[in-house]
């Protein structure tokens, strides 16, 4: 099973551009599709992985590996996730001075940007659907994003305001 875990996470790490959130649908398909855990358990691990400091993709691979095969599973999944990116960056670093100002490389990255946005948006919508988020309840997230983006308000203030609003809602409004 260790070899399967390593190859699965190596494939995910090697062929995903855009970071942990872009990896999420692939990890979910592999883990839930193979019957290693239920979809609900996967989203519980997703939630815990988001709340931990560090790289999201590495966090979720460590938690999944631990859930499946304890500490050796964590190490195998972590290496499978990190190793492809590390080797690719090492390879690029060797030739960076030659490709740094290449128009082809610049155009490739410009073409990848919209795809990366879509790869990050897809798991966000999937997670929102799985927790029962509706347009009415997503108002706070949309308003927060607009306040940060358009008005330049620090995300720290938005987080504090959302926490105070949630506390007020839980203590005053929801009681009634």
Cβ atoms of 83 and 10 within 8 Å: the answer is: yes
Residue 176's pLDDT is what?
Answer: 56
Tell me the pLDDT tens digit for each residue of 30-46: 889 999 988 888 888 88
Q: Look at the block and give the residue holding tokens 């290693």.
A: 36
Question: Is a pLDDT exceeding 90 seen at residue 57?
Answer: no
**pLDDT grade for 74, boundaries at 50, 70 and 90:** very high
Q: Which position has the token pair 């190793």?
A: 83
Q: Cα(135)–Cα(6) distance, rounded to whole angstroms?
A: 39
């995910």: which residue's tokens? 12
φ/ψ (deg, to 5) at 14: -80, -30
Which residues fall within 8 angstroms of residue 88, CB to CB, at 6 or more apart? 14
Answer for the pair 29, 64: CB distance below 8 angstroms, yes or no. Answer: no
Q: What is the pTM of this model?
A: 0.62
How far, in Å, CA of 42 to CA of 48, rounded?
A: 10
Cβ atoms of 65 and 76 closer than 8 Å: yes
Q: Tell me: pLDDT of 71 over 90.
A: yes
| pLDDT over 70 percentage in the chain | 96
The yes-or-no verdict on residue 8 having pLDDT over 60 is yes
> pLDDT-derived band of residue 124, with 50, 70 and 90 as boundaries?
confident
Question: For residues 125 and 121, what is the distance between their CA atoms, to the nearest angstrom?
Answer: 6
Average pLDDT, the chain: 84
């Amino acid at each position: 099973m260790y070899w399967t875990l390593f190859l699965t996470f190596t494939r995910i790490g090697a062929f995903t551009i855009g970071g942990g959130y872009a990896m999420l649908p692939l990890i979910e398909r592999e883990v839930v599709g193979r019957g290693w855990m239920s979809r609900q358990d996967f989203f519980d691990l997703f939630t815990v992985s988001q709340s931990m400091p560090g790289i999201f993709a590495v966090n979720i691979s460590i938690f999944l590996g631990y859930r499946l095969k304890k500490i050796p599973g964590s190490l195998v999944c972590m290496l499978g996730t990190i190793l492809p990116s590390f080797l690719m960056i090492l390879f690029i670093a060797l030739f960076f001075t030659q490709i740094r100002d290449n128009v082809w490389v610049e155009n490739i990255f410009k073409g990848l940007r919209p795809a990366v946005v879509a790869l990050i948006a897809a798991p966000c919508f999937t997670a929102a659907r799985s927790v029962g988020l509706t347009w009415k309840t997503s108002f706070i997230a949309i308003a927060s994003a607009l306040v940060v983006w358009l008005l330049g308000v620090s995300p720290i203030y938005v987080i504090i305001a959302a926490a105070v609003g949630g506390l007020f809602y839980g203590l005053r409004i929801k009681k009634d």
